[in-house]
Amino acid sequence: MGGLPRGRRVGVDVGKVRVGVALSDPDGILATPLETVPRDLAAKPDAVPADIAAIVALVAEHEAVQIVVGLPVRLNGREGDAAIDIRAYAERLARASGPVPVVLADERMSTVVATRRLAERGVRGKRRRAVVDQAAAVEILQSWLDAQRRQTR
């Protein structure tokens, strides 16, 4: 197998209230849920928001080599206001993460798929809301990892 360099990747699903974080294994085969971080919407423009600082700390703790942020693309392939917000978030994350590169990945339907999978497992109500962001981050990261493997075959 060639192509994808060895190392853990961190997947990020940015929501309005919470940020779901997922982590891959060092071989880039499987994404697993890691944490849900509350959004820091009160951070001053020149300060690093607490949620971004928490993600950077997780990247350092797990020695991740890349950060994959879900980009909400409309079903027709166009980007709307949400995508503009996520691009700005990814830029702030990239500035804070130093040498660890940040890439954007199409996240169409990730939250829908994650919610459906949790429902199929019987996870409901408050418990589902608590983990859906992590599950969406897993969907984003797993889809990206699978696409990278397909490209390198």
Domains of the chain (ranges plus CATH)? 9-151 (3.30.420.140)
Question: What's the confidence (pLDDT) of residue 111?
Answer: 66
Question: What's the confidence (pLDDT) of residue 110?
Answer: 63
Question: What's the confidence (pLDDT) of residue 108?
Answer: 67
Residue 50 has pLDDT above 50, yes or no: yes
Contacts of 78-86 with C-beta under 8 Å, sequence gap 24+, read: 85/14, 86/14
pLDDT tens-place string over residues 70-88: 998 877 878 888 899 999 9
Q: Which of 13-22, 55-64, 69-78 has the lowest mean pLDDT?
A: 69-78
- Average pLDDT score over the chain: 88
Residue 9, strand partner residues: 66
pLDDT tens-place string over residues 77-116: 788 888 999 999 999 999 999 999 999 998 865 666 666 7
For 74, list phi and psi in degrees, rounded to 5: -65, 160
The whole-number average pLDDT for the span 139-148 is 92
Question: What's the confidence (pLDDT) of residue 150?
Answer: 85
- CA distances, 117 to each of 4, 29, 123, 131, 138 (Å): 28, 19, 9, 11, 12
Question: What is the torsion angle, in degrees rounded to the nearest 10, for the CA atoms of residue 41, residue 137, residue 105 and residue 103?
Answer: 70
Question: What's the confidence (pLDDT) of residue 45?
Answer: 81
1 pLDDT band (50/70/90 cuts)?
very low
Per the document, the length of the chain is 153
